[in-house]
Structure 1
Amino acid sequence: MRFEDALFNWLQIQIVADGRPDDNAAKETRDFFVQILTEDHGVTELFLLKTDETMVHVKYVREGRSKLQLYPRESAEQLLSDIRSNPKYN
Protein backbone atom coordinates (compact mmCIF):
# COMPACT_ATOMS: atom_id res chain seq x y z
CA MET A 1 0.00 0.00 0.00
CA ARG A 2 1.29 3.43 -0.89
CA PHE A 3 2.36 5.63 2.02
CA GLU A 4 -0.10 8.39 1.11
CA ASP A 5 -3.02 5.95 1.06
CA ALA A 6 -2.05 4.34 4.35
CA LEU A 7 -1.68 7.74 6.03
CA PHE A 8 -5.08 8.96 4.84
CA ASN A 9 -6.75 5.65 5.77
CA TRP A 10 -5.18 5.87 9.23
CA LEU A 11 -6.45 9.44 9.60
CA GLN A 12 -10.02 8.55 8.68
CA ILE A 13 -10.17 5.54 11.01
CA GLN A 14 -8.43 7.49 13.80
CA ILE A 15 -11.23 10.06 13.58
CA VAL A 16 -13.79 7.24 13.70
CA ALA A 17 -12.08 5.64 16.72
CA ASP A 18 -11.99 9.01 18.50
CA GLY A 19 -15.62 9.69 17.67
CA ARG A 20 -16.80 6.21 18.64
CA PRO A 21 -14.76 5.19 21.70
CA ASP A 22 -16.69 1.91 22.14
CA ASP A 23 -16.08 0.81 18.53
CA ASN A 24 -13.47 -1.93 18.90
CA ALA A 25 -13.45 -2.67 15.16
CA ALA A 26 -12.40 0.93 14.52
CA LYS A 27 -9.57 0.63 17.04
CA GLU A 28 -8.38 -2.64 15.51
CA THR A 29 -8.47 -1.13 12.02
CA ARG A 30 -6.58 1.93 13.24
CA ASP A 31 -3.92 -0.33 14.75
CA PHE A 32 -3.66 -2.19 11.43
CA PHE A 33 -2.85 1.05 9.61
CA VAL A 34 -0.39 2.06 12.32
CA GLN A 35 1.36 -1.26 11.76
CA ILE A 36 1.54 -0.66 8.00
CA LEU A 37 2.89 2.84 8.53
CA THR A 38 5.52 1.73 11.04
CA GLU A 39 6.63 -1.56 9.49
CA ASP A 40 6.33 -0.79 5.78
CA HIS A 41 7.00 2.95 5.72
CA GLY A 42 9.29 3.64 8.68
CA VAL A 43 6.99 5.97 10.59
CA THR A 44 8.09 6.25 14.23
CA GLU A 45 5.65 8.88 15.52
CA LEU A 46 2.14 9.63 14.32
CA PHE A 47 -0.62 11.82 15.70
CA LEU A 48 -3.40 14.24 14.93
CA LEU A 49 -1.87 17.59 15.77
CA LYS A 50 -5.00 19.71 15.44
CA THR A 51 -8.20 20.28 13.55
CA ASP A 52 -9.24 23.75 12.50
CA GLU A 53 -12.26 24.98 10.57
CA THR A 54 -11.05 23.67 7.21
CA MET A 55 -8.04 21.38 7.71
CA VAL A 56 -6.83 18.43 9.76
CA HIS A 57 -3.13 18.56 10.64
CA VAL A 58 -1.27 15.23 10.93
CA LYS A 59 2.26 15.19 12.30
CA TYR A 60 4.56 12.21 11.84
CA VAL A 61 8.23 11.26 11.90
CA ARG A 62 9.54 9.27 8.98
CA GLU A 63 13.18 8.44 8.30
CA GLY A 64 14.14 10.62 11.25
CA ARG A 65 12.45 13.71 9.83
CA SER A 66 9.40 15.38 11.33
CA LYS A 67 6.71 16.16 8.77
CA LEU A 68 3.32 17.82 8.73
CA GLN A 69 0.55 16.77 6.36
CA LEU A 70 -2.69 18.73 5.95
CA TYR A 71 -5.97 17.24 4.79
CA PRO A 72 -9.29 18.93 4.04
CA ARG A 73 -11.43 18.45 7.12
CA GLU A 74 -14.48 17.39 5.12
CA SER A 75 -12.56 14.55 3.44
CA ALA A 76 -10.92 13.43 6.67
CA GLU A 77 -14.25 13.27 8.52
CA GLN A 78 -16.23 11.66 5.68
CA LEU A 79 -15.98 8.08 6.96
CA LEU A 80 -17.26 9.05 10.41
CA SER A 81 -20.08 11.03 8.81
CA ASP A 82 -21.02 8.05 6.63
CA ILE A 83 -21.04 5.70 9.63
CA ARG A 84 -23.16 8.07 11.71
CA SER A 85 -25.67 8.51 8.90
CA ASN A 86 -26.20 4.75 8.50
CA PRO A 87 -28.69 3.51 11.14
CA LYS A 88 -27.36 -0.06 11.14
CA TYR A 89 -24.08 1.20 12.69
CA ASN A 90 -25.75 3.24 15.44
Structure 2
Amino acid sequence: MKSLQDTLYNWLTIKVVADARPDDTAARDTFDLFDDILKTDHKVSNIKVEKDELMYFVIFEKDGEEKKARFAAELIDIMHDQIEQEPEKYINYPE
Protein backbone atom coordinates (compact mmCIF):
# COMPACT_ATOMS: atom_id res chain seq x y z
CA MET A 1 0.00 0.00 0.00
CA LYS A 2 1.56 3.23 -1.09
CA SER A 3 -0.64 5.70 0.78
CA LEU A 4 -0.21 6.04 4.53
CA GLN A 5 -3.78 7.34 4.78
CA ASP A 6 -5.18 4.25 2.99
CA THR A 7 -3.10 1.92 5.14
CA LEU A 8 -4.26 3.65 8.33
CA TYR A 9 -7.88 3.38 7.17
CA ASN A 10 -7.57 -0.34 6.45
CA TRP A 11 -5.59 -0.96 9.65
CA LEU A 12 -8.22 0.78 11.77
CA THR A 13 -11.17 -0.90 10.05
CA ILE A 14 -9.78 -4.39 10.60
CA LYS A 15 -8.59 -3.47 14.12
CA VAL A 16 -12.20 -2.71 15.09
CA VAL A 17 -13.28 -6.11 13.73
CA ALA A 18 -10.35 -8.01 15.27
CA ASP A 19 -10.90 -6.37 18.66
CA ALA A 20 -14.61 -7.29 18.56
CA ARG A 21 -13.85 -10.87 17.41
CA PRO A 22 -10.70 -11.96 19.27
CA ASP A 23 -11.11 -15.59 18.16
CA ASP A 24 -11.37 -14.69 14.47
CA THR A 25 -8.03 -15.73 13.05
CA ALA A 26 -8.71 -14.18 9.63
CA ALA A 27 -9.37 -10.80 11.23
CA ARG A 28 -6.27 -11.11 13.43
CA ASP A 29 -4.07 -12.17 10.48
CA THR A 30 -5.36 -9.28 8.38
CA PHE A 31 -4.77 -6.84 11.23
CA ASP A 32 -1.22 -8.18 11.62
CA LEU A 33 -0.62 -7.65 7.89
CA PHE A 34 -1.67 -3.98 7.99
CA ASP A 35 0.16 -3.44 11.27
CA ASP A 36 3.34 -4.74 9.64
CA ILE A 37 2.82 -2.51 6.58
CA LEU A 38 2.45 0.54 8.84
CA LYS A 39 5.55 -0.28 10.83
CA THR A 40 7.79 -1.60 8.05
CA ASP A 41 6.79 0.30 4.91
CA HIS A 42 5.59 3.56 6.46
CA LYS A 43 7.91 3.60 9.51
CA VAL A 44 5.05 4.37 11.91
CA SER A 45 5.33 3.64 15.63
CA ASN A 46 3.52 4.19 18.95
CA ILE A 47 0.06 3.88 17.40
CA LYS A 48 -2.89 4.81 19.60
CA VAL A 49 -6.59 5.03 18.81
CA GLU A 50 -9.13 7.38 20.35
CA LYS A 51 -12.80 7.63 19.51
CA ASP A 52 -15.58 10.09 20.14
CA GLU A 53 -19.19 9.90 18.99
CA LEU A 54 -18.33 10.93 15.42
CA MET A 55 -14.68 10.20 14.72
CA TYR A 56 -11.81 7.83 15.26
CA PHE A 57 -8.41 9.43 15.79
CA VAL A 58 -5.21 7.51 15.10
CA ILE A 59 -2.25 9.09 16.85
CA PHE A 60 1.18 7.85 15.83
CA GLU A 61 4.83 8.77 15.45
CA LYS A 62 6.53 9.11 12.08
CA ASP A 63 9.93 10.65 11.46
CA GLY A 64 10.20 11.62 15.13
CA GLU A 65 6.97 13.62 15.07
CA GLU A 66 3.58 12.85 16.58
CA LYS A 67 0.90 12.90 13.90
CA LYS A 68 -2.84 12.38 13.91
CA ALA A 69 -5.27 11.05 11.33
CA ARG A 70 -9.03 11.10 11.69
CA PHE A 71 -11.73 8.96 10.17
CA ALA A 72 -15.52 9.13 10.33
CA ALA A 73 -16.72 6.46 12.77
CA GLU A 74 -19.53 5.39 10.46
CA LEU A 75 -17.00 4.54 7.71
CA ILE A 76 -14.70 2.62 10.04
CA ASP A 77 -17.49 0.73 11.79
CA ILE A 78 -19.23 -0.36 8.57
CA MET A 79 -17.40 -3.69 8.27
CA HIS A 80 -18.05 -4.62 11.90
CA ASP A 81 -21.68 -3.52 11.60
CA GLN A 82 -22.12 -5.67 8.48
CA ILE A 83 -20.73 -8.70 10.32
CA GLU A 84 -23.07 -8.07 13.25
CA GLN A 85 -26.11 -7.70 10.97
CA GLU A 86 -25.41 -10.83 8.92
CA PRO A 87 -23.25 -13.13 11.05
CA GLU A 88 -24.13 -16.18 8.93
CA LYS A 89 -22.10 -14.65 6.07
CA TYR A 90 -19.03 -14.14 8.26
CA ILE A 91 -18.36 -17.44 9.94
CA ASN A 92 -15.63 -17.27 12.51
CA TYR A 93 -12.95 -19.89 11.88
CA PRO A 94 -10.81 -20.01 15.01
CA GLU A 95 -7.49 -21.86 14.96
Task: Using structure 2 for the length normalisation, give the TM-score.
Answer: 0.86
Q: Does 1:66 align with 2:66?
A: yes
Aligned residues: 89
Secondary structure of the residue that 2:69 maps to in structure 1? strand
Shift of 1:70: 1.3
Runs of 4 or more consecutive aligned structure 1 residues displaced over 4 Å after TM superposition: none
Q: Does 1:8 align with 2:9?
A: yes
Task: Using structure 1 for the length normalisation, give the TM-score.
Answer: 0.90
- Provide the identity percentage: 38
| In structure 2, C-alpha distance between the alignment counterparts of 1:3 and 1:68, rounded to whole Å | 12
- Unmatched runs of 5 consecutive residues or more in structure 2: none
Shift of 1:89: 1.6
Residue of structure 1 in register with 2:25 after alignment: 24
- Unmatched runs of 5 consecutive residues or more in structure 1: none
- Which protein has the larger Cα radius of gyration, Structure 1 or Structure 2? 2
| In structure 1, C-alpha distance between the alignment counterparts of 2:56 and 2:9, rounded to whole Å | 11
| In structure 1, C-alpha distance between the alignment counterparts of 2:79 and 2:47, rounded to whole Å | 20
Residue of structure 1 in register with 2:56 after alignment: 56
Residue of structure 2 in register with 1:33 after alignment: 34
